Each structure stands twice: as C-alpha cells, then as structure tokens.
C-alpha cells in the first residue's frame, strides 16, 4: 500500500505519515527542503515506517509537474494521494503583490489540480483510489489579512468538492478536511486528531463516503 503526501511537514504531515504508516502504508513525501525530508525519513524509519522523500518546489512550473509525472509513472498502484501543501503570505486584498499572490495560488490550488490530474488516469483505469485534501477555515471566513491563503483554500475546497462528484461514479474516493482553527498539539486541532479523521474517512465504505468534514 502506498500513500503520497504532497506538502510534508512536522505538523499534520508527520501525523499523517505516522498514522497511515503504522497501518502498513509506504509513505512517499514531497516537500521543498531536501534536508528536512532526510530527517523525516529517519524519524519515520525509527518507528518502523518506510518513507522516501522527493524535493520539489510546488510553485516551480517545470520541476513540479515533471516530478508528478515521474511519481505517477513509478507508482501506478498508488492507493492514496494526500495534498497537504499551502502557502502563507499575510496581506490585505488591496495590498498583496501579484507575483506573491500567483505563487501562493500555484501552491494552494494549481499544485493540487496537477497532482489529481497526474494520478487520476491510473486510478480510473483500475477502478479505485483515494484523493485527500487538507483544507482551512479561511476558505469560509475570508479574513482580509489572509487574502491569498483564504482565496487559495476556497479554490482548493471547490476543486475537492467538484472532483468528488466526478470521481464518485468511478469508485474513487475524494474528501477534504477543513480545519477551522490553528493547528496545535493538545487542542481540538491537534495534528494527530486531524490525521485520525482522515483515517476514519479512509475506512468508510463507498455508500457512506463523506466529501467534507469540518473540524
């Protein structure tokens, strides 16, 4: 079993890797920093979890799509693709610079779309698979100081919900967990609790699939 995590980090990403890795999944990780990826590999290996990292900047219009094609070709049997990446540059709508907004948009929305497009053909051909997305409450509340992030999360939420409708007849699960608060250990937004919610979704039979969960 294989779990591809795009947007690996020490919070939700590591909790997801540990939760699904403990269930026997091989973890494939994508993040920008190769040094951090090597540390994630070592930390997971210490827990008996097989993990491999691939460094790429999702905003890179050439390198990221190339990596997706490499991974899609190498793992046509991928069980779960989880898009966990997000970009954060605080600014009011009237003040954010277009290059910054466009880079954030590529990470928050375009990267997710490209990932789904890369892996959907194989899932469609074999008749099963799962796409998960980590959403954010800013998609619903649109705080002005987080304009690029909130617009991006709203776009990703719509992508996930639309993809869910497209994929349900194909026996391909699509779900997003919208995290309505700061991710912090020991709170209701503890990364381990978020990972547990994705695990719960994965366990659901097709007739009970949920497209979105609010936490």
Residue 167 has pLDDT above 80, yes or no: yes
Contact of 17 with 46, CB cutoff 8 Å: no
CATH at 98? 3.40.50.720
Q: What is the pLDDT of residues 28-58, one digit of tens each?
A: 999 999 999 999 999 999 999 999 999 999 9
Q: Percent of the chain beyond pLDDT 90?
A: 86
Q: What is the pLDDT of residues 51-84, one digit of tens each?
A: 999 999 999 999 999 999 999 999 999 999 999 9
Total domains present in the chain: 1
Q: Which two tokens stand for residue 167?
A: 């994929």
Residue 201 has pLDDT above 90, yes or no: yes
Residue 161 has pLDDT above 80, yes or no: yes
Provide the whole-model pTM.
0.95
If you average pLDDT over residues 109-113, what whole number do you get?
97
Q: What is the pLDDT of residues 121-157, one digit of tens each?
A: 999 999 999 999 999 988 888 888 888 899 999 999 9
pLDDT at 180: 82
Is residue 186 packed enough to be buried (19+ CB in 10 Å), middle (13-18) or exposed (0-12)? exposed
What range does the domain containing 64 cover?
2-214
pLDDT at 183: 81
Q: Which two tokens stand for residue 71?
A: 């991974």
The rounded distance, in Å, linking the Cα atoms of 76 and 62 is: 21
């Amino acid at each position: 079993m294989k779990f591809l995590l795009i947007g690996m980090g020490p919070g939700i990403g590591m909790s997801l890797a540990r939760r699904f890795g403990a269930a026997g999944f091989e973890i494939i990780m994508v993040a920008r920093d190769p040094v951090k990826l090597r540390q994630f590999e070592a930390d997971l290996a210490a827990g008996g979890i097989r993990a491999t990292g691939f460094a790429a900047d999702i905003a890179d219009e050439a390198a990221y799509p190339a990596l997706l094609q490499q991974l899609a070709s190498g793992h046509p049997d991928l069980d779960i693709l989880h898009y966990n990446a997000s970009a954060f540059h605080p600014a009011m709508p009237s003040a954010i610079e277009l290059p910054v907004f466009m880079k954030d948009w590529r990470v928050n929305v375009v990267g997710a779309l490209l990932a789904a497009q890369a892996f959907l053909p194989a899932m469609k051909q074999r008749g099963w698979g799962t796409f998960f997305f980590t959403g954010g409450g800013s998609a619903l509340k649109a705080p002005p100081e987080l304009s690029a992030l909130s617009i991006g999360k709203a776009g990703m939420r719509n992508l996930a919900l639309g993809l869910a409708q497209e994929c349900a007849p194909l026996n391909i699960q699509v779900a997003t967990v919208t995290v309505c608060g700061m991710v912090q250990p020991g709170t209701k937004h503890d990364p381990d609790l978020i990972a547990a919610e994705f695990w719960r979704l994965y366990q659901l039979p097709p007739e009970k699939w949920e497209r979105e969960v609010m936490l």
